Amino acid sequence: MATALCCLIYFCAIFRAPSALAQPPAANQMPSVIEVPAEAQASPHFDATAATNAYLAQIPADKTARSDAYFEGGYWMILWDFLYGAAVALLLLNLRWSARMRDLSERVTRFKPVHTFVYWLQCLFAATVLLFPLTVYEDYFREHKYGLATQTFGPWMLDQIKGFGLDAVLLGLLVVLLFGVVRRLPRTWWIWGAVVTILFTTFIHLIGPVYINPLFNQYTRLNDPKIAEPILSMARANGIPAKDVYTMDASRQSTRMSANVSGFANTMRITLNDNLLRRGSPEEIQAVMGHEMGHYVMNHIYKTLMFFSIMIVLTFVYLYWGLVWALKRWGEKWQIRSVGDTAVLPLVVLLASVFIFAITPILNTFIRTQEYEADMYGLNTSRQPDGAAQAAIHVGEYRKMNPGPVEEWIFFDHPSGRNRIYAAMRWKAENLKLFTGH
């Protein structure tokens, strides 16, 4: 559940990963300065494929091996996260810990909303403790192993505790609302449950940039005129309110170079992270900001909310049938009385995680398609194909550059580095006059 929310909060790139400034430069870093190779210089013999290959050839082999290993390991992490999460849910059900937590909450109060919230706190705490070995491996040790994390254990743990507090309050509110709906509307709860979840997701997305993200990172307006002016000019040219370009201290947690669009309506903002600001060339920063503006102008946030709304409705339809089916078989054994019984929650999470796991390639493809659109928009507006190629190489520190097509379709939520560089060089090939001066 938390992952789905994160997906929405961090639209373009998720970098709330573990990560301390005092450490030496990460071992996996690509060269900061990426020259335009001879084959990618504008000339009468310019060839997009040769230019793409020349860019890729600038990446040292050991860096490719390392980022491939990191990214491919991520495919397995999707599976382990799913299996481990399922095992935790089954443990809570089969050992009847969930039923006992419900009994305990009933002893605290019979007032349903408070009862549900007390159950939620126990259940979230138990699940967090049981999941902790995988969380600490995946988000702390694995990130450090690949040189992507900058945080020591203490600050990392503090971020985890903040995350727990947020889940306790915000997801707790959703759980209370949903159980209220199920108890009052036993036949139609799946419709109204979906409506409540969609409104809640929209609300979190709206408040995220202003009230949630600043709990983890500092957001400041980008004031350096050398960097800001070309971006603001591009923003004005595209009808975007210029006040909405921000920078944030992502280096607190991670070495990742990234940018994103978050929020919507009054809270929509384009954010450039400090790793990109420090290491990216001016051309690269303009290319990335052009891409982010593409998300903004093409209303990707509204389209994503719409898409997720459809997915939420499908999830509730599936839960409506799935819960009845599972409770008929195992309800008695797990001491769950009905769909409206709070003790059912681990089963809800288990069924939902099966659904989300199964549709991962569809989610990735939806997001990747928008990312490709934003890449095209970014090239057209920034006119920095070489900056775009540099950015593709820099994010290659944590994404595989050159996957097979099926692999890209299933696992990639952005186009692969090779495809992004090729698209940039294809654009350059058709616009050579901008670079030759005649």
Residue numbers at the binding site for Zn ion (CB under 5 A): 12, 371, 374
Gyration radius of the chain over CA positions: 23
- CA pair distance 426, 251, nearest whole angstrom: 33
Nearest CB to Zn ion, comparing residues 13 and 124: 13
Region label for 118, one of left (φ > 0), alpha (ψ between -120 and 50) or beta (otherwise): alpha
Q: Which is nearer to Zn ion, 92 or 270 (CB)?
A: 270
Taking the complex as a whole, the smallest distance from the CB of residue 295 to Zn ion amounts, in Å, to 6
Please, which residue, 99 or 374, has the CB nearer to Zn ion?
A: 374
Taking CB positions, which residue lies at the least distance from Zn ion?
Answer: 12
CA-to-CA distance for 419 and 35, rounded, in angstroms?
19
71-102 as b/e: b if 16+ CB within 10 A: beeeeeeeeebbebbbebbeebbeebbbbebb
**Which lies closer to Zn ion via its Cβ, residue 102 or residue 291?**
291
What are the angstrom distances between the C-alpha of 362 and each of 199, 200, 243, 408? 23, 23, 34, 12
> C-beta of 309: minimal distance to Zn ion in Å?
21
d(CA 346, CA 332): 15
Q: Which is nearer to Zn ion, 12 or 148 (CB)?
A: 12
**Between vectors from CA 420 to CA 378 and to CA 50, what angle results, nearest 5°?**
120
Q: How many CB atoms lie within 10 A of CB 406?
A: 9
Name the residue nearer to Zn ion (CB basis): 350 or 367.
367
Q: Give the C-alpha separation, 96 to 83, whole Å.
A: 20
| Between 200 and 308, CB nearer to Zn ion | 308
Judged by beta carbon, residue 148 or residue 301, the one nearer Zn ion is: 301
What is the rounded CA–CA span in Å between residue 369 and residue 305?
15
Question: From the CB of 378, what's the least distance to Zn ion, in Å?
Answer: 9
Instruction: Tell me the pairing of strands 269-273 and 245-248.
Output: parallel
Residue ranges in 208-337 assigned as alpha helix (H): 225-237, 274-279, 282-297, 300-334
Q: Are 184 and 190 in contact (CB under 8 A)?
A: no
In whole angstroms, how close is the CB of 64 to Zn ion at the nearest point? 23
User: Which residue(s) pair with 272 in the sheet?
Assistant: 247, 259
We find the least distance from the C-beta atom of residue 233 to Zn ion, in angstroms, to be 21
Q: How far is the CB of 291 from Zn ion (least distance, A)?
A: 6
What is the smallest separation between the CB atom of 12 and Zn ion, expressed in angstroms? 4
User: Least separation, in Å, of the C-beta of 98 and Zn ion?
Assistant: 39
Q: How many CA atoms lie within 13 A of 103 on its CB side?
A: 8
Task: Kindly state the tokens that stand for 377.
Answer: 């928009």
Residue with tokens 């979906």: 194
98 in Cβ contact with 330 (< 8 Å): no
The helix (H) or strand (E) run that includes residue 386 is: helix 385-395
Q: How far is the CB of 430 from Zn ion (least distance, A)?
A: 23
Output the smallest distance, CB 86 to Zn ion, in A: 31
Structure tokens at 206: 């709206």
Between 245 and 374, name the residue whose CB sits nearer to Zn ion.
Answer: 374
Minimum distance from CB of 413 to Zn ion (Å)? 9
> In the complex with Zn ion, which residue's Cβ is closer, 12 or 181?
12
**β pairing state of 219-221 and 269-273:** unpaired
Strand partners, 219: 248
Sheet hosting strand 219-221, strand order edge to edge: 219-221, 245-248, 269-273, 259-262
Nearer CB in complex with Zn ion: 12/124: 12
